[in-house]
Structure 1
Amino acid sequence: MRVGGQDLSQTFRTKAEANAWVAQQTLDHAAGKLGRVPDKLFADLICRYRDEVTSGKDGARWEQLRFAALLGEPLAGGVQRDPDPLVQVRLLDLGPEHFAAWRDRRLLRVSAATVLREWNMLSAACTRAVREWRWLHENPMRQVSRPAAPQPRSRRVTDEEILKITYVCGYQPDIQLKTMQVRVAAAFLFAIETAMRAGEICALKWTDIDLAKRVAHVRAIEPGARKTGVARVVPLSKSAIAILMQLEGIDELKLFCLKPSILEALFRKAKKMALIDGLHFHDTRREALTRLAAKVDVMTLAKISGHKDLRILQSVYYAPDMGDVAVLLD
């Protein structure tokens, strides 16, 4: 159909749905809701979103890297790379088929989990363009099938891996944690004790700790970050308290004095030195919650972890060894 000098098209399963859409477009135009889509490329939309929205997120670095790859911006050292065809499409022509083609290209190179993260990033940009900028009439990604979600990870941290990480980082339980590398090992151990995320651990301040009550007041991670969380109070084990005591005198304000990006980079370095494959820092959260599940009920566990959906807690973060469960049955 043509409304206000613009060609609009959509595909529907039934004639009734098509007629309803035509009627809605006509009403929207009459109400002034349909602005004229600017003659810009999708690359322009991405750049604006990156500059105005991404830059203010806690997870900005990850999004900036993904957008840079999509746009074909040079790597460090001036190494050139090609932009994805998606960013070269005019907004006037942008449709579901372009995102379907992008999805299929990405699935040939990266995992479904990575594509889903990038999908959410692009969809958020399109939604912002619809609601606030009037650069799009609708989010075309809503008409495209998302990749099938991969099976949840079940990876746990072994005692041997804990020993290796602490060894290569130079961590010992009776030393002051003066270097970033040794504080990475401490953060790793602290995560296993508390089930806190890396970003939450890095954000901890001394004012968040109540040693008398043995609790940590966890700050909410800003919406839009790669990993979001809710404010909550986390109980601290004796081992967790001991780690905090090793941090005394390092800084008057912050505990671990690590940025999430630095923690991630140094943890990767430690894994490589320790010859450990397939372990993510976030796996400590599953390890911690599985251990805690043997000590507290599920509602308390959800309070500690900050999960509102118990199904996610059960399917993603609780990975018991059935051999251990069998012993409990005796």
Structure 2
Amino acid sequence: MAYYSIEKRQRADGTLRYRCTVGVKEGGKYVYRENRTFGKQAHAKTWGAARVAELETLGVPTPNDVGNMAVGDLLKRYINDPNLGGKAGRTKRYVLDMLLDCDISEVLLSDLSTSHVIEHCRQRNGAGAGPSTVNHDVSYLSSVLASAKPIYGINYTSNPATDARPLLLRMGLIGKSRRRNRRPVSDELDRLIEGLKARSGHASSIIPFVDILNFSILSCMRIGEVCKIRWEDIEETQRVVLVRDRKDPRKKEGNHMFVPLLGEAWDIVQRQPKTSDLIFPYNSRSVSVGFQRVRNALGIKDLRYHDLRREGASRLFEAGFSIEEVAQVTGHRSLNVLWQVYTELYPGALHSRFDELQRKKV
């Protein structure tokens, strides 16, 4: 039996929206659901009543009927696909789940247009999302739409997310992320370490925040990598550790790499208790949250945990390591990023080198 229900929802900007859900139950179980959101309750009621009448007359649509499939239905297939959503990284999975809760997910695939994509980006921008963040929405939505025909056999080949991109760029709603060059300055790092020591001293705390912070800097690893390295991946003779599946935009899996544990990084590892297969058996999110809370309590502005990776690379440059040598620690496949770090540290390095060569000629 078909039915409809209406839920009142409030957007981030305070405006009210009405989500109408239409469904069909058989034997006490749902066999079909769809929903759409409206600005007025009366419009939601009208659509709900009309769809119930259609379902009672025509029956439940087939799974691949594009005329009755919403963007959200395709999103769910993609997310639940072990070869697609199942292999998505944390950022992509977060964005896909977020899109499911946005108005655009309720638009029928057959109706989806560039104007819907632009409106979604406007709403996200109005809620405080920056151009680089909204750019992720558009990129991942485009990937999902492109999968409809070749992967799921859905008769849908349009891609309004891709079509909207030039307009969104001109409107300033999407754009590239700004390259960060933030490092701890003055006594920020000392204050953070003291604050993290105090946090680790709490009776309920089990995370060695200071060791992990120092190891993150010295090894130039991402916090997700730090919390995944295993005792069995330590090579004692060369003092290296195998970091599995390092982040690479061109390859999602199999990016294993031996990373040298220089100086105190090796000592930090050796003093960790062997209570688990993991060297740092802690949730990376919990480590980041602990760092953020101490940072905020200290009033330190705009310093992210990931900035410690840049701090580590900068220290290696300052110690005299070459770009190629630093890449062996950081895992950068392209040296362009490290070259930018180097030139920001030593903007006059080429002038000094040129002057030195000139003196030798004389």
TM-score normalised to structure 1 length: 0.71
Q: Deviations over 1:174-207 (max 9, x none)?
A: x9xx9444x2332221111111111111110111
Give the SS at the match of 2:68: coil
Q: Does 1:141 align with 2:128?
A: no
1:232 and 1:304 in contact (8 A); partners too: no
| Partner-residue secondary structure (3-state), 1:157 | coil
Q: Is the 8 A contact 2:323 2:338 kept in 1?
A: no
- CA, structure 1 residues 185+289, in 2 after alignment: closer, same or farther (shift >3 Å)? same
How do 1:1-330 residues align onto structure 2 when only pairs under 5 Å count? 37-53=66-82, 56-57=86-87, 59-60=89-90, 62-63=91-92, 65-72=94-101, 84-108=102-126, 109-135=128-154, 136-145=156-165, 146=169, 147-158=174-185, 160-170=187-197, 179-181=205-207, 183-221=208-246, 230-249=255-274, 251-294=275-318, 295-315=320-340, 317-318=341-342, 320-322=344-346
Letter of the structure 2 residue corresponding to residue 298 of structure 1: I
1:293 partner SS: helix
CA offset at residue 140 of structure 1? 2.6
Instruction: Supply the AA of the counterpart residue of 1:220.
Output: D
**AA at the equivalent of 1:154:** N
Deviations 1:110-147 (A, max 9, x none): 11222123333323322333431133314332222252
* Partner secondary structure for residue 242 of structure 2: strand
SS in 2 for 1:169: helix
**Are the aligned partners of 2:227 and 2:281 in contact in 1 as well (CA < 8 Å)?**
yes
Structure number with larger C-alpha Rg: 2
Q: What code does the residue aligned with 2:76 have? A: C
Matching residue's letter, 1:137: T
Q: Which amino acid aligns with 2:116?
A: H
Work out whether residues 40 and 91 of structure 1, in 8 Å CA contact, stay in contact via their aligned partners in 2: yes
Unaligned runs of 5+ in 1: 1-34, 73-83
Question: Separation in 1 of the partners of 2:214 and 2:264?
Answer: 9
Distance 1:229 1:201 in 2: 17
C-alpha contact 1:42 1:86 (8 A) present in aligned 2: yes
Structure 1 residue matching 2:66: 3-state secondary structure = coil
Alpha carbons of structure 1 residues 325 and 189: separation in structure 2 relative to 1, 3 Å:
farther
| Residues 130 and 266 of structure 1: CA distance in aligned 2, closer, same or farther (over 3 Å) | farther
Q: How many residues align?
A: 276
Aligned partners of 1:229 and 1:306 also within 8 Å: no
CA shift for structure 1 position 318: 4.7
Instruction: Report the counterpart of residue 56 of structure 2 in structure 1.
Output: none
Partners of 1:328 and 1:274 lie apart in 2 by: 39
TM-score, scaled relative to structure 2: 0.66
CA distance in 2, matches of 1:115, 1:269: 26
State how far apart, in whole Å, the 2-side matches of 1:192 and 1:303 are. 15
Q: Per the alignment, in what secondary structure is the counterpart of residue 166 of structure 1? A: helix
Q: Deviations over 1:31-65 (max 9, x none)?
A: xxxx96352111112222223357634744x5555
Residue 291 of structure 1 aligns with an amino acid whose one-letter code is: R
> Identity, % of aligned pairs?
24
Aligned-partner Cα distance in 2 for 1:228–1:114: 24
CA shift, 1:304, in A, is: 2.5
Other structure's SS at 1:144 match: helix
Give the whole-Å Cα distance in 1 for the aligned partners of 2:271 and 2:350.
38
Cα RMSD (Å): 3.4
- The alpha-carbon deviation at position 219 of structure 1 amounts to 0.6
Counterpart CA distance in 1 for 2:75 and 2:238 is 47
Question: Aligned letter for 1:119?
Answer: V
Per-residue CA distance 1:292-330 (angstroms, 9 max, x = gap): 223322222223222222223334x55744489699779
Higher strand fraction: Structure 1 or Structure 2?
2
